Structure 1
Amino acid sequence: MPLSTNLDRVRGTLLGLAVGDALGAPLEGLSPQQIRAHYGTVVDYVDGVRAWKRKPYRWRLPGLYTDDTQQALALCDVILRCGTVDPDCLAALYLALATPRNGHAGAHRGVGRSFRQVLEELERGRPPLECGQDSAGIGAAMRIAPVAIAFFNDTDGLFEAVMAASLMTHRDIRSLAGAMAVVSAVRRLLGGEEKSPSLLFRVAGDVALAERRIAECLAHAVDSIPEYGRSLSRAIANVEPLLELSRADAHHALIDEANAHGARPSCKRPTMGFPPACIPTCLYVLLTTDTFEEALTEVVNLGGDADSAGAILGAMAGAHFGVDAIPERWLEGLHNRVGIERRAEALAVGPDAVLEIPDLVETERALSALEHSSRESFKAPPSPNAGSQFTPRTD
């Protein structure tokens, strides 16, 4: 990958992932109707107070990403340090982020039950690659984009790195194939391949090969191969007929397709955190929009697993459009922009990179503490003479 022509795409990939995550974070779990009722159409970072007054633990600081980006940055640091995805090194970093300090909980933000179970297993000393959960979640796919950058020219190394990064948390083939799908799409877009319907078939072909390889080499460690061993490649290929449908009809078709591949619970939104739902939806939105801003605005306003959908589509759209296409207001409002950008540059340059990269654990602890203190101030009753802390949005 020629650095001179692709650094902007690499920066766009990681910054796009973080921007999409931060845009979607306060909207996670909401329906499109709830989003419209609370915020109108979300076109910028919003606080979670209006939507989550009764669940303050769901509040998110505007412009602050979740564990989706934290795990992607952890992958970056392990690759930069070890030259590959070393499971032991990655597990140690996940645990360091989880360690309480100064009376506060660990630095992880918004982690789900499955990832918490993985952390508990790691703390008990279980080998990292034996900790994967049997649910078909989206977690392996949401963080995987750095692997596409680091292993751009190494197909075999790319597959091994994706498996090392994914098996620690997931052992369902739909999750592993979902990670391969995101890596394939990001890698192809980084290389300048056209954003066209043919991209769907190229990505589906890559995923089909990966599904076959997983079945041949990892059947002892991976679940659901007999039932769902080709689910991801088929779900992606089946997006192509939807490109000419109305948005409403396409969304219904994406939901039906996801349910045909064993969604549990039953899929009700195309952005459900289930690989055969979320990843085809992200590809559909990418191919039916014209700008980074249009794509990200559309996907986060669908609600559901809005942060992960935002992260996945943000990485894809950033790889295609480049960093200059990301609205400056989104970059200016993004926490830890410098740390993210420097990691992108170091991955692009490779072993010869000489960049001062902020320590991930210390940075994330500080950001989580900032969010915690902000949340506490939100919960505090206002003084009698104080005006409202928040100005209602009109967008």
Structure 2
Amino acid sequence: MTATEEETPDTGCQAASLDERITGALVGAAVGDALGGPVEGWSPDQIAQRHGGRVRGIVGPWHGDEWRTARPIAPYHKGDGHVTDDTLMTHALIRVYARVRDHLDAYGVAGHLVPDLMTNPRWIPELEAEALPLHRVFLAEKWLVARLHYGHVDPREAGVGNIVNCGAAMYMAPVGLVNAAHPRGAYAEALDIAGAHQSSYGREAAGVLAAAVAAACAPGATPDSVVAAALALAKDGTRTAIEKVCEVAVRHDDFEAALEPLRAAVAPYDTVGPDYRSPSLGARRPSRLHAIEELPVALGLLVVARGDFRRAVLGAVNYGRDCDSIATMAGALAGALGSPVPGEWAETVAGASRLDLWAPARELAAVAREVFEKDVRRRRAHERAFTAMGGPGCSD
């Protein structure tokens, strides 16, 4: 179904440490986000026409100097290395982990993430100003504040009623990193967290993305093993979409030739329809038969690229449609595998966005170690209690 281990180039994952994987995943996600932002919403053909060929790095706003007023982009400065809400939400979730320093659930979102979004001004690259993150995030993310802060909804059920999209999945990489090499744990934790934000296949995608990132952290991981871990946990239309997309992806080793086949493979499961800027009447409604487009395509491009960061992210960027989120996911997965993030891209994005892309990674690595130590103590306490009840290891 996916590239064999022999076909996968050495991405350095055998020797990558936990810190390197976490840094690669988070810096990689931000870089993918920034590269995809200026071409989000357009088709591969439109992107190639606008830029005189495929995008090969950081580019400027689609409408040039008219970005402040040109619709449908205004008032956001997408391009020139600016990260979008994908990265803002990812860093917000990391701040919650840094505060709680343990596994999270939907109540952590209500108690910490929502107040952070609505009360703490931060530099917003696309607005080129300091503002509340709430003023930048999409309406599907504003839902968190409306439902949890103003609506007083049970955090575990607050996601019900929101449009079903990639809004939760796009910032779930930290959950996979805290649960590094434990996909099932990452899946369960992300599903709980995402219950405050999403339902149906949007929530499912959040769980599967976290699981895939956790699987990518395992020593010796390959795109093959990452997809296998995702398929082992994914349910309903999400599982089928990943399977069908990756069956196509394994037949390609160049993203240029893969773009149209990947879109054709995911189209039956994507509710948005062929015109991304004019969604179909059935778009983003709950369903057990459908999936978000972004996650299967990100996994497919990881397979096409054989785990190589640059190729996976550039494939995502040139795919178009919701390509900043696709590139965010692909970047996180390739970075977690250990494929190096191009330094010139990372430095440019950090400078242009006025963000330290490495500090959140250091913080999350420390949290991941603390959580692992707590898990070990909890597991050993359970083993002692189970043994005392006559379980395995109890002598007569």
Q: What TM-score comes out, normalization by structure 2 length?
A: 0.72
Deviates more, 1:144-153 or 1:42-51: 42-51
Residues 193 and 278 (structure 1), Cα distance of their counterparts in 2 relative to 1, 3 Å cut: farther
Task: Render the CA deviation track for 1:69-100: whole Å, top value 9, x for unaligned.
Answer: 11111221212221122434433433433348
- State the partner residue of 1:66: 84
For 2:104, the aligned partner's letter is V
Aligned partners of 2:183 and 2:214 also within 8 Å: no
Which residues in structure 2 correspond to 1:214-363 (within 5 Å)?
230-242=236-248, 243-244=250-251, 250-261=258-269, 263-267=270-274, 275-290=291-306, 291-322=308-339, 325-335=340-350, 339-350=356-367
CA RMSD across the alignment: 3.3
Task: Render the CA deviation track for 1:26-67: whole Å, top value 9, x for unaligned.
Answer: 211122222223323322222315365623314325222111
- State the partner residue of 1:46: 59
CA distance in 1, matches of 2:337, 2:222: 8
Matched residue count: 326
For 2:38, the aligned partner's letter is P
- Equivalent position SS for 1:244: coil
Which residues in structure 2 correspond to 1:1-395 (within 5 Å)?
5-40=17-52, 41-48=54-61, 50=63, 52=67, 54-55=70-71, 56-60=74-78, 62-82=80-100, 83-91=102-110, 92-99=112-119, 106-108=132-134, 110-127=136-153, 128-132=155-159, 133-152=161-180, 157-172=185-200, 174-197=201-224, 199-207=226-234, 211=235, 230-242=236-248, 243-244=250-251, 250-261=258-269, 263-267=270-274, 275-290=291-306, 291-322=308-339, 325-335=340-350, 339-350=356-367
Aligned partners of 1:18 and 1:65 also within 8 Å: yes
Residues 157 and 287 (structure 1), Cα distance of their counterparts in 2 relative to 1, 3 Å cut: closer
Task: Render the CA deviation track for 1:138-170: whole Å, top value 9, x for unaligned.
Answer: 112111011111122656653442123211110
CA distance in 2, matches of 1:350, 1:192: 20
Aligned partners of 1:3 and 1:349 also within 8 Å: no
- Equivalent position SS for 2:168: helix
Q: Deviation at 1:285?
A: 1.1
- Equivalent position SS for 1:184: helix
Q: Deviation at 1:115?
A: 1.7
Identity of aligned residues (%): 25
- Equivalent position SS for 2:99: helix
Residues 352 and 247 (structure 1), Cα distance of their counterparts in 2 relative to 1, 3 Å cut: closer
Structure 1 unmatched ranges of 5 or more: 212-229, 354-395
Q: Deviation at 1:250?
A: 5.0
Q: Deviation at 1:106?
A: 2.3
Residues 49 and 109 (structure 1), Cα distance of their counterparts in 2 relative to 1, 3 Å cut: farther
Q: What TM-score comes out, normalization by structure 1 length?
A: 0.72
For 2:190, the aligned partner's letter is V
- Equivalent position SS for 1:85: coil
CA distance in 2, matches of 1:152, 1:59: 34
- Equivalent position SS for 2:357: helix
Aligned partners of 1:24 and 1:310 also within 8 Å: yes
Residues 337 and 144 (structure 1), Cα distance of their counterparts in 2 relative to 1, 3 Å cut: farther
Residues 247 and 318 (structure 1), Cα distance of their counterparts in 2 relative to 1, 3 Å cut: closer
Aligned partners of 1:25 and 1:307 also within 8 Å: yes
Structure 2 unmatched ranges of 5 or more: 1-12, 123-128, 285-289, 371-396
Residues 58 and 193 (structure 1), Cα distance of their counterparts in 2 relative to 1, 3 Å cut: same
CA distance in 1, matches of 2:344, 2:61: 19
Aligned partners of 1:136 and 1:275 also within 8 Å: no
CA distance in 1, matches of 2:41, 2:62: 14
